[in-house]
């Protein structure tokens, strides 16, 4: 079995930051990534709030981190971690292909967009249903789209789409928005934006491609079909913590509980970034967690 000092699961901002520190501390460091490196931020067109960098695209930010981690000596493999086992003082991380042993594990699996929970949602994802307006919006130029959600992401998505879509319908289940008041005003002023409050989506229509959505007004108990080609879900996030559900303590929402040094309930296993219980989920806090977790892990491994 291949041996490492530190294995990091997830090559997002937290995982790659941890990798830079662990590798630079001279530890044999492996990063396992199930999708592409970079995590959520590759979906951001521009990042303007990372301290020290005035403006950068999400992809360039992610690639910079990746290269920095690899140059520091970390090994990054595109394999999804499917199991973690404990063997004496060692931890074994399994992928579909291989098992890897190490002294310390850093969990940096991040979060993913919460699905709406509709029938055939997974099937139509990529064929009309999307979770990222910045990424997929351009496919719906000149078409009718809808956005579901009430926070800033939903408002921003509606704003972005209204720039080039024929019509954008913003759908929110409550009567007021959680997101910024100013953005709501801006949306109200746009002639191609329609806002439906107290409304939920109940079904997806269309065979292989989305053609419409069934919506219901909760106050008036009225239901109808809205013809749209694109439906953008922006209803929050859920942590990717299934891998360790039976291994470490999670909070009620599924986030991994960890202390100030990113230690989880199990010695030798650390959690960093969006997947752990915390107030602020941003790049800077993910990077900070990665550094903290790596240095704590290095003391053990």
Which residues of the shown chain bind other proteins in the complex (CB under 8 A)?
Answer: 34-38, 42, 57-60, 62-63, 66, 76-80, 96
Q: Which of residues 77-96 bind ligand FAD (CB under 6 A)?
A: 80-81
Taking CB under 6 A as the criterion, the residue among 6, 32, 148, 235 binding ligand FAD is: 32
CA atoms within 13 A on the CB side of 294: 31
Q: Which range touches ligand FAD (CB under 6 A), out of 43-51, 120-128, 179-187, 246-254?
A: 43-51
Binding partner of 59, given ligand FAD, other proteins, none, CB within 5-8 angstroms per partner class: other proteins
- Chain length of the chain: 301
- Residue 124 or 213: the one with the smaller Cβ distance to other proteins is 124
154 binds ligand FAD (CB under 6 A): no
* Residue 44, Ramachandran bin (φ over 0: left; ψ between -120 and 50: alpha; else beta): beta
The listed partner (ligand FAD, other proteins, none) that binds 66, CB under 5 to 8 Å by sort, is other proteins
Q: Any contact of residue 33 with ligand FAD (CB under 6 A)?
A: yes
Angle formed at CA 130 by CA 126 and CA 135, multiple of 5 degrees:
95
Q: Which stretch binds ligand FAD (CB under 6 A): 103-111, 170-178, 206-214, 251-259?
A: 103-111
Give rounded-to-5 percent helix, strand, coil for the chain: 30, 30, 40
Q: Between 215 and 287, whose beta carbon lies closer to ligand FAD?
A: 287
Closest CA to 228 of 212, 208, 216: 212
d(CA 26, CA 161): 47
Q: Is 136 a catalytic residue?
A: yes
Tokens 């959520």, located at residue:
40
Which range touches ligand FAD (CB under 6 A), out of 19-27, 37-45, 136-144, 227-235?
Answer: 37-45
Tell me the C-alpha distance between 131 and 4, whole Å. 36
Choice between 93 and 226, CB closer to ligand FAD:
93
Q: Which of 5, 136, 274, 289 is catalytic?
A: 136
Do residues 29 and 20 lie in contact, with contact meaning Cβ atoms separated by under 8 Å?
A: no
Decide if 135 is catalytic.
yes
- CB half-sphere exposure, 76, CA atoms < 13 A: 24
Q: Which residues are catalytic?
A: 132, 135-136
């Amino acid at each position: 079995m291949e041996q490492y000092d530190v294995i990091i699961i997830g090559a997002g901002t937290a995982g790659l930051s941890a990798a830079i520190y662990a590798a630079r501390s001279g530890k044999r460091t492996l990063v396992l990534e199930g999708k592409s490196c970079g995590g959520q931020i590759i979906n951001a067109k521009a990042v303007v709030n990372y301290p020290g960098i005035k403006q950068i695209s999400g992809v360039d930010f992610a690639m910079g981190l990746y290269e920095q981690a690899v140059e520091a000596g970390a090994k990054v493999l595109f394999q999804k971690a499917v199991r973690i086992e404990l063997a004496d003082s060692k931890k074994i991380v399994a992928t579909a292909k291989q098992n890897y042993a190490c002294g310390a594990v850093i969990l940096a699996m991040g979060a993913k967009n919460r699905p709406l929970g509709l029938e055939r949602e997974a099937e139509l994802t990529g064929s009309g249903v999307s979770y990222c307006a910045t990424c997929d919006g351009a496919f719906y130029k000149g078409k009718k789209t809808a956005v579901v959600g009430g926070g800033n992401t939903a408002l921003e998505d509606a704003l972005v789409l209204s720039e080039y879509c024929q019509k954008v319908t913003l759908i929110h289940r409550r009567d007021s928005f959680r997101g910024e008041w100013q953005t709501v005003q801006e949306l109200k002023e746009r002639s191609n934006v329609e806002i439906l409050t107290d409304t939920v989506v109940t079904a997806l229509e269309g065979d292989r491609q989305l053609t419409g959505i069934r919506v219901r007004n909760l106050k008036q108990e009225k239901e109808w079909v809205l013809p749209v080609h694109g439906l953008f879900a922006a209803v929050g996030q859920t942590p990717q913590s299934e891998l360790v559900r039976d291994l470490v303590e999670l909070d009620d929402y599924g986030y991994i509980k960890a202390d100030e040094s990113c230690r989880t309930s199990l010695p030798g296993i650390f959690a960093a970034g969006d997947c752990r219980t915390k107030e602020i989920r941003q790049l800077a806090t993910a990077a900070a967690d990665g550094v903290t977790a790596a240095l704590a892990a290095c003391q053990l491994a």
